[in-house]
Each structure stands twice: as structure tokens, then as C-alpha cells.
């Protein structure tokens, strides 16, 4: 009898410890579940944007992310669709990375028939296409992102695809590489200045000023992030028209020339005496790139420009 009581006592103690272990295991499992559910790659998720909120049920596989193709590529996501703008087409650096994607034409608005034919899960557009929101939202739930701040816009695109950490890494990489190029500029070009010129017809240029508070993305990238001093006579306004003859009044040491719209006009200009006697041109301090404007707004484009400038300053 005494042995029987002892056995029951032992079994009771074992049962008590088993309950404690089971409870701990359940508690640990619950904490793990909560931790997993809080991970940023979980769906569904709600995206807040300029037109309200949109629920994303799962990672998009066929979304029309128009105007943010650069951002997707920076996240290592190949766009299902790409924008083709009237008179420009698909931006070359985007086009070469998106072969096989459906092309959605834009001329005073996106081609709705083309969009319908692709049957997108969602449509994502920057705020400057907001006028078409009602039409687009009838095709698929449409997200309108304020793109006035490129970092915030990039993070929102990343949020849609549950790639927030990747976006943070890309932004940090841009900051790191910008700092490296700025150090080169400070070391070798602190006494020299740079001027942005976009070629127009009839020996005209469009310059991009810096310091107005409404500066173009390209001017901010070159003069602020990379620390390249603007030409001292350069107007601060965002855009300024200037003639070839007018360039002679600027003391510019370097020209960054954008020839996206009028490539033949630059060829004609390069044959003139005025152009060839400009100090920057005579010394070979000219970087010609047709994609600087298109590349400057997105993270991938910024990375490309930073590398191009690094190569230019290091030659």
C-alpha cells in the first residue's frame, strides 16, 4: 500500500512538471507566432496613399506600376508593365532591363485599352497622373503615391511588395556612394564648378539652377548629394533658358550636357566656333548623357548617375 501511494505521488509530480513544460512550450509557440505575424512580409496589408487606403491580399504578380518602374528594378523586381511616353518611348535604361514587359502608352493619359488587356491586379501611379485616377480605379484598385519625395515614394512602392528592408538598404547604398563621390569632389574639384545644360533647338539650352527650394532632382543630386559647386552666375530658378552666345557669360569649368530631345542639335552646336572656344569645352571637361533627366528621379537611376559622375571625376 505504501509503495502504491509512493508510485501515485511520483506520477503526480511527473504530471505537474509535464503541465509546466507544456505551458512553456505553448507560450513560446504563441510568442513565435506573434513575432512571425509582425514581420513586414506578411499579407494582407493595407497601403495608405493619396486617395485613401488599399488592401493588398498577397504579393502582386501582375500589377501595373506605372511611373515607378525604376523603383521596382531597384528592388530586384521585374515590372510586368512599363510606361511609354509620347515622343520619348520607354526610357532606355528601363527598356534594356524590362524586355518582355507589356508596354502601356501614355499620351495625355494612359492607354486604357492596353491596361484592360493586361488585367492588372492593382495599378500604382505617381501623383502627377492623379487626374486619371477615376478611370484607372475602374480597371483595378489604384494606388496614388506622392512622388515629391523620392525616398518616401520608394518606401511606399517597397511596402506594396513587402520589400521595406531592401528599400532601406538601397537608400543607404545611395547615401554611402554619394559620400564617396563627394569626398572625391572635395579633394580634386573644390575650386571648380559645374553646369547642367539640356540641348534645345536653334542653339538654345535649358539650364537647371540650384537653391530655389524647388530644384530639379538632378540638380539636387549633383549639387547637394555629390557636392559639385554650381556655376556662380547660374540663376537659382529651377529652369532657365539660355542661348549658345549667352554661355560665354558663365564661368563654368565643367558642362554636363543632356541631349535627350535634340541629339542632332548638339552635333550642329559642336561644329560652331563659340562652342569650341568655351573654356570647359576647350579643356575637354564635358560629360554628355542623354538619360540624366530620366534617371535622376528614381533610386536605380540615381545609382547609375552617381557611378557615371564617379567615373568622370576619376578620369
Q: Give the mean pLDDT of 77-102.
A: 94
Q: For residue 27, what pLDDT is reported?
A: 40
Q: What local confidence, expressed as pLDDT, does residue 33 receive? A: 33
At 216-239, the pLDDT tens digits run 999 999 999 999 999 998 888 999
Rounded Cα distance between 139 and 120, Å, is 8
10: pLDDT confidence band, cut at 50, 70 and 90?
A: very low
Contacts with 250 (C-beta within 8 Å, 6 or more apart), sequence order: 195, 231, 233, 234
Of 275, 256, 254, 258, the C-alpha closest to 203 is: 275
Burial (0-12, 13-18, 19+ Cβ within 10 Å), 236: middle
pTM for this entry: 0.84
In the predicted model, is pLDDT for residue 11 greater than 80? Answer: no
Predicted local distance difference test score (pLDDT) of residue 309: 97
With pLDDT > 70 as the criterion, what percentage of the chain qualifies?
Answer: 87
258 - beta bridge partners?
A: 198
Q: Return the H-helix or E-strand segment holding 165.
A: helix 164-188
> What is the average pLDDT across 282-292?
93
**Contact by Cβ (8 Å): 153, 74:** no
Reported as a single tens digit per residue, the pLDDT across 24-83 is 444 443 322 323 333 555 899 999 999 999 999 999 999 999 999 999 999 999 999 999
Domains of the chain, with CATH numbers? 45-162 (3.40.50.1980), 175-314 (3.40.50.1980)
* Helix, strand or coil, per DSSP, at residue 289: coil
Averaged pLDDT score across all residues of the chain: 88
Three-state secondary-structure class, residue 20: helix
Question: How far apart (Å, rounded) are the C-alpha atoms in residues 50 and 202?
Answer: 41
Phi (first) and psi of residue 137, to 5 degrees: -65, -20
For residue 174, count other CB atoms closer than 10 A to its CB.
21
Pair 57, 43: CB distance under 8 Å: yes
pLDDT for 298 equals: 97
DSSP for 85-148 reads ETTTBS-HHHHTT-TTPEEEEESSSB-HHHHHHH--S-EEEEGGGGGGHHHHHHHS-EEEE--S
The percent of residues above 90 in pLDDT, for the chain, comes to: 74
Report which of 228, 198, 192 is spatially closest to residue 210, judged by C-alpha positions: 228
Amino acid at each position: 500500500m505504501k509503495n502504491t501511494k509512493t508510485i501515485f505521488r511520483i506520477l503526480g509530480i511527473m504530471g505537474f512538471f509535464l503541465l509546466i513544460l507544456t505551458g512553456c512550450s505553448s507560450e513560446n509557440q504563441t510568442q513565435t507566432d506573434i513575432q512571425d505575424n509582425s514581420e513586414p512580409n506578411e499579407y494582407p496589408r493595407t497601403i495608405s496613399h493619396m486617395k485613401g487606403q488599399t488592401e493588398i491580399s498577397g504579393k502582386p504578380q501582375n500589377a501595373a506600376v506605372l511611373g515607378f518602374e525604376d523603383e521596382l528594378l531597384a528592388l530586384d523586381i521585374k515590372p510586368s508593365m512599363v510606361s511609354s511616353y509620347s515622343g520619348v518611348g520607354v526610357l532606355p535604361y528601363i527598356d534594356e532591363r524590362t524586355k518582355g514587359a507589356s508596354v502601356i502608352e501614355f499620351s495625355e493619359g494612359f492607354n486604357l485599352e492596353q491596361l484592360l488587356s493586361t488585367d492588372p491586379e492593382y495599378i500604382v501611379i505617381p501623383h502627377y497622373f492623379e487626374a486619371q485616377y477615376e478611370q484607372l480605379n475602374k480597371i483595378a484598385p489604384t494606388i496614388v503615391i506622392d512622388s515629391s519625395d523620392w525616398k518616401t515614394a520608394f518606401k511606399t512602392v517597397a511596402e506594396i511588395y513587402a520589400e521595406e528592408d531592401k528599400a532601406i538598404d538601397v537608400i543607404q547604398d545611395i547615401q554611402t556612394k554619394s559620400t564617396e563621390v563627394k569626398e572625391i569632389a572635395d579633394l580634386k574639384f573644390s575650386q571648380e564648378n559645374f553646369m547642367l545644360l539640356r540641348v534645345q533647338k536653334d542653339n538654345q539650352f535649358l539650364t537647371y539652377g540650384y537653391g530655389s527650394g524647388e530644384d530639379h532632382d538632378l540638380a539636387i543630386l549633383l549639387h547637394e548629394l555629390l557636392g559639385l559647386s554650381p556655376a556662380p552666375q547660374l540663376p537659382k530658378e529651377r529652369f532657365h533658358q539660355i542661348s549658345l552666345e549667352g554661355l560665354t557669360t558663365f564661368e563654368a569649368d565643367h558642362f554636363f550636357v543632356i541631349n535627350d530631345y535634340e541629339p542632332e542639335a548638339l552635333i550642329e552646336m559642336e561644329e560652331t566656333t563659340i562652342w569650341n572656344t568655351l573654356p570647359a569645352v576647350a579643356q575637354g571637361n564635358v560629360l554628355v548623357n542623354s538619360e540624366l533627366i530620366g534617371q535622376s528621379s528614381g533610386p536605380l537611376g540615381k545609382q547609375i548617375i552617381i557611378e557615371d559622375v564617379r567615373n568622370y571625376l576619376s578620369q
